[in-house]
């Protein structure tokens, strides 16, 4: 009866074509980009306005029905995985750029705006939005906020949290709050910082105020090929030790190179065991001086091939190959897990060697492509989903990689979040007291646990009692 009454209340908000309840309609929402997990929700609503989202959450609170917010579904940790007895609130249609102010260098956007569209709208004013995850052409700002996404250029420019000034959000009980504002300066508690990266546990961000940056005057991009992945990793430490702060430092291994080359023909050297991409950006005079220093460091790291982008077209082709790597690996295996652990840069070479050894130990292929500048690893663990034993081995490799990251002084996620995939490793990262504190904050904001339940925080007997 509760389900029927609940659906009747939703029908008062949404017309039939935007309230999805039959299995054929729901199957597309049963998983996100982490396809190893699948849950069929009770219903999906296609919201078109902020008011519809608010009214939906009020109905969920009234009936104590859990809800999950979903943008483009590009989460790689199961962060937008549905709940069997709950609903999915699809937010792609909340895609307005409400205001773009070139003088204040801000953009106020709805949560369903696609990341790249912000930069396209700001380009005529010589501005852009810096966070650039690989899924930039499709991922939404709301999802970026939920997981504090980074991207290739986060080494110099920071994560999503460094570029969000204000948030208009609806809390799990339907209350609408405004956090932060339009200024870089704030007084009091950093509520915006607390909200960013909360993986949907604090409700839904409806409207987000973004900081825009002036487009760099110039770029210099270099590609270096090495006979070993460890050598590429050592080169990263050498670049940073030289006092250089590139806009981006990325590494790809041979499997990732092969996949990307087949997909977009970026002109990568196909025999490279490790490929290093380094990009400097900024004022032309400064960049040219730094580039001379970078060349010296790269030569000292002993690559067997060095290529310099001589035009914007060549530069964009290099980045097209790198950003296509995740999807391109689908050419090598229809099933793969993507991990997101972080190690200190000083441990990068050793970590890469250990990942290689794990692949050999379990007979699992691992393609590596990652943000080398901040040690954010993205090993893609290839497996055959039709073979349960092979899938299990892939899961073991993924888990041992995360434990390796913790053991080397790192963390289990850099930008993909905990979601459902990494829940059992949270207790290895944090003490029981830490988890209790986080659960206590959650309870204050969402006492019934309706907003994206089962994600980010473990619900063991010790922690569940907080609820």
For residue 60, being part of any structural domain is answered with: yes
Token pair in block for residue 113: 């705006």
- Domain containing residue 120: CATH number: 3.30.465.10
Query: For residue 337, what are the β-bridge partners?
Result: 381
Q: Is residue 418 part of a domain?
A: no
- Domain shared by 228 and 323, yes or no: yes
CATH, residue 297: 3.30.70.2190
Cα–Cα distance for residue pair 327/35, rounded to 1 Å:
13
Calpha distance 164→180 (Å, rounded):
9
pLDDT of residue 311: 93
Mean pLDDT over 105-126 rounds to 98
CATH code of 38's domain: 3.30.43.10
Res 2: pLDDT: 62
pLDDT band at 463 (very low <50, low <70, confident <90, very high): very low
226 and 322 inside one domain: yes
Where is the domain boundary, 276, 303, 327?
327
From the list 169, 173, 150, 247, the residue with the least C-alpha distance to 209 is 169
22 and 83 both lie in a single domain: yes
For residue 27, give every residue at least 6 positions away whose Cβ sits within 8 Å of its Cβ, in sequence order, or none.
40
> Which uninterrupted H or E stretch holds 315?
helix 312-323
- Could you give the C-alpha distances from 87 to 6, 82, 214, in angstroms and in order? 11, 7, 40
Residue 374 is predicted with a pLDDT of 86
239 and 298: one domain? yes
Q: List Cβ neighbours of 257 (8 Å cut-off, separation of 6 or more).
A: 268, 269, 270, 272, 275
- How crowded is the C-beta side of 62, counted as CA atoms within 13 Å? 14
Which residues contact residue 24 at a Cβ distance below 8 angstroms, ignoring those fewer than 6 apart?
A: none
Question: Is residue 415 in some structural domain?
Answer: no
Q: Ranked by mean pLDDT, which of 168-182, 183-197, 232-246, 378-392 comes out on top?
A: 168-182
- How confident is the model over 423-452, as a mean pLDDT? 94
Query: With 70 as the cut, is the pLDDT of residue 461 above it?
Result: no
> Helix, strand, or coil here: 247?
coil
Q: Are residues 104 and 182 in the same domain?
A: yes
Mean pLDDT, rounded, of the chain: 93
Establish if 422 belongs to a structural domain. Answer: no
Indicate whether 133 belongs to any domain: yes
pLDDT in tens, 8-59: 999 999 999 999 999 999 999 999 988 888 999 999 999 999 999 999 999 9
For residue 271, count CB atoms less than 10 angstroms from its CB and return exposed for 0-12, middle for 13-18, buried for 19 or more.
Answer: exposed
What pLDDT is attached to residue 327?
A: 83
| pLDDT above 90: percentage of residues in the chain | 82
The dihedral of CA 457, 148, 164, 372: what is its sign?
positive
- Cα–Cα distance between 103 and 95 in angstroms, integer? 23
Distance of alpha carbon 163 from alpha carbon 168, whole angstroms: 15
| Residues contacting residue 397 through CB under 8 Å, at least 6 positions apart | 358, 359, 362, 364, 366, 381
Same domain, 46 and 111: no
pLDDT class of 462 with cuts at 50, 70, 90: very low
Residues 9 and 110 in one domain: no
Average pLDDT over residues 375-402: 92
Average pLDDT over residues 54-71: 98
Comparing CA positions, the residue from 435, 423, 429 lying closest to residue 462 is 435
What CA–CA distance (Å, rounded) separates 214 from 199? 29
Could you tell me if residue 412 is inside a domain? no
Look at strands 67-70 and 87-90 and give their pairing: parallel
My answer on whether 242 and 321 are in the same domain is: yes
Specify the residue for token string 């979040």: 417
Domain end, chosen from 61, 90, 119, is at 90
- pLDDT tens for 352-371 read 889 999 999 999 999 998 88
Q: How far apart are CA 271 and CA 274, in angstroms?
A: 9
Shared-domain flag, residues 122 and 27: no
Backbone angles phi, psi at 183, to 5 degrees: -105, 150
> Confidence class of residue 405 from pLDDT cuts 50, 70 and 90?
very high
Sign, CA dihedral 91-95-98-101, equals positive
Would 446 be classed as within a structural domain? yes
Other Cβ atoms closer than 10 A to 390: 17
How many domains, the chain?
Answer: 5
pLDDT digits (tens, 9 = 90+) for 78-96: 999 999 999 999 999 999 9
* Among 378, 375, 369, 405, residue whose Cα is nearest residue 276: 369
Residues 158 and 52 in one domain: no
Whether residue 411 is predicted with pLDDT greater than 60 in this model: the reply is yes
Q: Give the range of the structural domain holding residue 161, as residue numbers without chain letter.
A: 97-214
Q: What pLDDT, on the 0 to 100 scale, is given for residue 227?
A: 95
- Helical H segments across 164-303, by residue range: 191-195, 229-241, 254-264, 284-300
pLDDT reported for residue 464: 37
- The CATH number of residue 369's host domain is 3.30.70.2740
Q: Can you read off the two tokens belonging to residue 321?
A: 């190959």
Residues 133 and 56 in one domain: no
- If asked whether residues 384 and 285 sit together in one domain, one would say no
- Strand, helix or coil at 113? coil
Q: Which stretches within 324-387 are classed as H helix? A: 325-328, 348-362
192 — phi, psi (to 5°)?
-65, -45
pLDDT at site 198 = 96
pLDDT in tens, 258-268: 999 988 898 99
The residue ranking higher by pLDDT, 299 or 386, is 299
423 domain residue, yes or no:
no
- Pick from 327, 348, 365: which residue ends a domain? 327
């Amino acid at each position: 009866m509760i389900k029927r009454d609940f659906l009747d209340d939703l029908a008062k908000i949404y017309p039939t074509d935007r309230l999805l309840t039959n299995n054929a309609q729901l199957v597309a929402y049963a998983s996100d980009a982490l396809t190893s997990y699948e849950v069929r929700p009770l219903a999906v609503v296609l919201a078109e306005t902020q008011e519809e989202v608010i009214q939906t959450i009020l109905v969920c609170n009234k009936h104590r029905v859990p809800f999950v917010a979903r943008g483009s579904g590009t989460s790689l940790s199961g962060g937008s995985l549905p709940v069997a007895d709950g609903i999915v609130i699809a937010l792609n249609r909340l895609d307005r750029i409400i205001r773009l102010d070139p003088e204040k260098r801000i953009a106020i956007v709805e949560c369903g705006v696609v990341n790249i569209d912000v930069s396209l709208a700001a380009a005529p004013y010589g501005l852009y939005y810096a966070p650039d995850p690989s899924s930039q052409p499709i991922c939404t700002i709301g999802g970026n906020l939920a997981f504090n996404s980074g991207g290739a250029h986060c080494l110099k420019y920071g994560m999503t949290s460094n570029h969000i000034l204000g948030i208009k959000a609806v809390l799990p009980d339907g209350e609408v709050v405004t956090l932060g504002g339009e200024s870089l300066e704030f007084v009091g508690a950093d509520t915006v910082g607390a909200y960013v990266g909360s993986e949907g546990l604090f409700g839904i961000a409806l409207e987000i105020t973004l900081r825009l940056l002036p487009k760099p005057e110039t770029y210099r991009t270099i590609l270096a090929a090495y006979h070993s992945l460890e050598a590429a990793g050592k080169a990263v430490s050498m670049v940073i030790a030289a006092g250089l702060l590139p806009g981006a430092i990325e590494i790809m291994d041979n499997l990732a190179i092969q996949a990307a080359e087949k997909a977009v023909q970026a002109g990568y050297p196909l025999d490279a065991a490790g490929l290093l991409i380094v990009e400097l950006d900024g004022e032309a005079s400064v960049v040219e001086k730094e580039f001379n220093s970078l060349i010296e460091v790269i030569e000292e790291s002993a690559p067997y091939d060095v290529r310099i982008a001589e035009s914007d077209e060549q530069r964009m082709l290099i980045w097209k190959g790198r950003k296509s790597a995740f999807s391109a690996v689908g050419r090598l295996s229809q099933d793969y897990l993507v991990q997101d652990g972080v190690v200190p840069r000083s441990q990068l070479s050793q970590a890469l060697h250990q990942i290689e050894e794990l692949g050999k130990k379990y007979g699992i292929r691992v393609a590596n492509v990652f943000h080398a500048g901040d040690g954010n690893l993205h090993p893609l663990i290839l497996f055959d989903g039709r073979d349960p034993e092979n899938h299990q081995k892939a899961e073991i490799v993924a888990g041992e990689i995360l434990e390796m990251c913790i053991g080397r002084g790192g963390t289990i996620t850099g930008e993909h979040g905990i979601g459902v995939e990494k829940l059992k490793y949270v207790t290895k990262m944090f003490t029981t007291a830490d988890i209790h504190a986080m659960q206590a904050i959650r309870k204050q904001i969402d006492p019934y646990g309706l907003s994206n339940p089962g994600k980010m925080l473990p619900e063991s007997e010790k922690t569940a009692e907080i609820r």
